[in-house]
């Protein structure tokens, strides 16, 4: 089972992805942007982000997906974001539409995290006040894909984890 947690910033994506990967003993693949901005190039400005840094993040994210089985049919894993995030980010910040970022394998199952939870403090967050607007973009992009989308709109992290676990158990039972 290949799962992607996606959505706007500050919606528990990373925490959910780690919890689900642990619960179901699946490989966890972190969001490359956070790795880049915290570990590789921590002095990178985030608002606005220089284009060359975005390009490095995009390249790193796509390489991480490739090396972790994202494009391999039926390779299991849990991904903390994917090309959909890059597609929306690139369109929003640089005014460019890059449909190659939406070449998504059909076996990806999306968990779209709704921004109805408080945005916690984080120096990497720049669009906390625009989460609803950006969420509508995620809904539009994902609804155009053939992939299954599960909406996580519970008001707590615990509620989202419980729903994701329930859905995944159901999918695993259906696969048997």
> What is the per-residue pLDDT for 32?
98
> What is the per-residue pLDDT for 24?
97
Angstrom distance (rounded) from CA 107 to CA 88 = 21
> What is the per-residue pLDDT for 36?
98
> What is the per-residue pLDDT for 176?
59
The per-residue pLDDT for range 102-119, each reduced to its tens digit, is 999 999 999 999 999 999
Contacts of 18 (CB under 8 A, 6+ apart): 28, 78, 80
Question: What is residue 79's three-state secondary structure?
Answer: strand
**Quick check: 59 and 79 in contact, CB under 8 A?**
no
Contacts of 28 (CB under 8 A, 6+ apart): 17, 18, 21, 22, 77, 78, 80
Q: What is the pTM of this model?
A: 0.96
pLDDT beneath 50, residues of the chain: none
Q: For 6-29, give one letter per residue: b (16+ CB within 10 A) or e.
A: bbbbbbbbeebbebbbeebebebb
């Amino acid at each position: 089972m290949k799962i992607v947690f996606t959505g706007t910033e500050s919606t528990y994506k990373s925490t959910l992805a780690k919890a689900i990967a642990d619960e179901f003993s699946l490989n966890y693949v972190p969001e490359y942007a956070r790795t880049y901005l915290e570990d590789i190039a921590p002095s990178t400005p985030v608002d606005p982000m220089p284009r060359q840094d975005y390009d490095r993040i995009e390249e790193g994210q796509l390489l991480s997906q490739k090396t972790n089985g994202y494009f391999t049919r039926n390779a299991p894993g849990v991904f903390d974001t994917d090309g959909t995030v890059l597609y929306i980010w690139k369109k929003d910040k640089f005014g460019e539409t890059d449909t190659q970022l939406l070449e998504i394998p059909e076996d990806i199952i999306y968990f779209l995290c709704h921004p109805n939870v408080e945005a916690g403090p984080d120096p990497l967050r720049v669009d906390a006040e625009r989460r609803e607007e950006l969420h509508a973009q995620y809904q539009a992009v994902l609804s155009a894909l053939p992939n299954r989308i599960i909406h996580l709109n519970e008001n707590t992290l615990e509620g989202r984890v419980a729903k994701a676990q329930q859905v995944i158990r159901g999918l695993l039972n259906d696969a048997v």
